[in-house]
Amino acid sequence: MKNYRDLSSTAGDVGAGFQFEFYCQCCDFTWRSPFKAHRMGQLTGWLTRLTFLMTDLNKAGKATSAMSTAGARGAHEEAFEAAQAQAQRYFNQCTECRNQACDECWDDSLSQCKTCLNKHKRPGGASAGHGGGYDEGQGGAGGLACPNCQVPSSGGRFCHECGFDMASTHKSCPGCGGVMPRAARFCTDCGHGF
């Protein structure tokens, strides 16, 4: 999977650990892997801080730093493989464009993302973009309506009346980073109210 951002901390930090954020390449849905602490990196971070106070620990700090750096690559790869295995529950690879799509942007019967499906539905195969937040039928004569204010819209990513992001189907919790449906009022992971 190439649809990720590495949020891991460095090996010599007291908060050292590994975390990855995977994203849908059709909409703004994201999923973060659980933070996996890198204990040797954290130990190195603490020893590095202590070496400023006690010069006798300087050699111990350098030794653990070397061991931490040597073990960090293997631990990083192991954490990334585990995160990829977990992320595969939330994403599917399109057979046409090879992009990763979330369940909301995925057609199981054709094994394609909605972006590719929309390309084939339009005359001439022109790109249709992604309108994950649009509701059909509210705008009269086959138009689209903003799900926030119900004003008919002729397209574009943002509603011209209220500024609602029409392409988003999910939102991230500012408290814990969990991904919730756009209509959620509370985070199911930490209870934060939106």
Q: Which residue has the higher pLDDT, 135 or 119?
A: 119
The pLDDT value given to residue 63: 56
Q: What share of residues in the chain are helix, strand, coil (percent, to 5)?
A: 30, 20, 50
Using alpha carbons, list the distances in angstroms from residue 172 to 134, 147, 192: 19, 18, 11
Task: State how far Cα 94 lies from the chain centre.
Answer: 18
The pLDDT value given to residue 22: 92
Q: How big is the chain, counted in residues? A: 194
pLDDT band, residue 47 (cuts 50/70/90): low
| pLDDT averaged over every residue in the chain | 74
Q: Which residue has the higher pLDDT, 145 or 96?
A: 96
pLDDT surpasses 60 at 134: no
Q: What is the pLDDT of residues 55-111, one digit of tens each?
A: 655 555 555 555 555 566 777 788 889 999 998 899 999 888 888 999 899 988 888
Question: Looking at residues 177-189, what average pLDDT do you find?
Answer: 83
pLDDT band, residue 136 (cuts 50/70/90): very low
pTM over 0.85: no
The pLDDT value given to residue 140: 39
The pLDDT value given to residue 46: 59
User: Two tokens at 112?
Assistant: 């394609």
Element containing residue 68 per DSSP (H, E)? helix 58-87
Residue 178 burial (CB count, 10 A): 18
pLDDT band, residue 154 (cuts 50/70/90): confident
